[in-house]
Structure 1
Amino acid sequence: MSAELTLDATDRALIRALAEDAQASAGALGRRFGLSQPACWRRIQRLRAAGLFRGARLDLDLARLGFGVTVFLGIKLATKGRVSLEDFERAVSAIPEVQIVEHVLGAFDYRLRVAARDLPDFERVLRRRIMTLPGVGNVEANVMLSEERRPGPL
């Protein structure tokens, strides 16, 4: 965030509202927060220009789309010298079932969120795609049983 950008209570309220519904109109948000549509639109554009929004996304219901299993993988790279982190990140990001790639500090080098149709489908993705990536060493899998809270406004 830019040093010269100062957020007031209305800016913070707009950010929370847009985090809940990125498609909310400036008119509806303006009515909600006591602003005219143009004033609200200008605030949103100022926040966007400052780089506070990285984009809008659909919140997909993976189970309804046929992806009934979510697995979190911890990946420890075997040889960091022979394969660059960028090479691994580029290769793992090209796997469609891998939803999130996080470079982390701790027992693992990376944490992945993988969506699969079922456990045999996950096994196929793990064996044929993830385990064949350059530099993969140890892998630890945790199957998600339920998700109680989705990422949202701070």
Structure 2
Amino acid sequence: MTSNLDEFDRKILTELQRNADLPLETLGQRIGLSRNACWRRIRSLEAAGVIRARVALLDPARIGLPLTVFMQIRAALHDADWLDKFARATRALPEVQGVYRMSGDLDYLIRAQVADMADYDRLYQTLIARVPMGDVSASFVMEEIKHSTELPLSRA
């Protein structure tokens, strides 16, 4: 679908990434389309999987989860069974916000949001109890300089 995005689609997606609650009237005025044309395009973008979901972004600190941690994982094994167990375990932990298989020295990178060091330790203990690990290290975010969910559509 990305190769089929026209300028109106890009404008719609840019606006929705900034505010998914934008009324169709306002969206149409901002991009130069009618309300109905915007609605049809949004439905088409959803059907094509370009728009995966519309969500509310919460402030982690205001809900008691101010500490962001990146866990660097080296797998204990490199087989399908271990990967399946690891994937199931990380998907089941709500603190885990992202899991990425990496190139280079580490095998996986986990991004998690926790209340404090004790909460991180609980997460760590839970994870290693569910899946054997080769090595786990963690880095804690001291200052968030930039965090965005908005994808650059000028290149799409």
| TM-score, with structure 2 as normaliser | 0.88
2:136 pairs, out of 116, 139, 149, with 139
1:38 counterpart SS class: helix
Name the residue aligned to 1:95. Answer: 93
Q: What amino acid maps onto 2:77 in structure 1?
A: T
| CA displacement, residues 1-48 of structure 1 (integer Å, 9 cap, x when unaligned) | 37xx62211111111111111222222100111111101111111111
Task: Select 1:35's aligned residue among 33, 36, 39.
Answer: 33
Q: Secondary structure at the match of 1:106?
A: coil
Q: Is the 8 A contact 1:80 1:135 kept in 2?
A: no
Shift of 1:55: 0.7
What is the aligned counterpart of 1:78 among 60, 76, 79? 76
Greater fraction of residues in helix: 2
Q: Does 1:112 align with 2:110?
A: yes
CA contact (8 A) 2:89 2:127 kept: no
Using the TM superposition, give the Cα deviation of residue 82 of structure 1 relative to its aligned residue in structure 2, in angstroms.
7.5
Unpaired runs of 5+ residues, structure 1, are none
- State how many pairs are aligned: 151
Runs of at least 5 residues in structure 2 that lack an aligned partner in the other structure: none
Match in the other structure for 1:25: 23
State the Cα distance separating 1:135 from its structure 2 match.
3.1
What secondary structure, in the 3-state scheme, does the structure 1 residue paired with 2:130 have? coil
Match of 2:119, SS? helix
More off after superposition, 130-139 vs 61-70: 130-139
SS in 2 for 1:80: coil
Deviations along 1:70-111, whole A, 9 cap, x unmatched? 100011111123833122101111112112112222222211
| Cα-Cα RMSD | 1.7
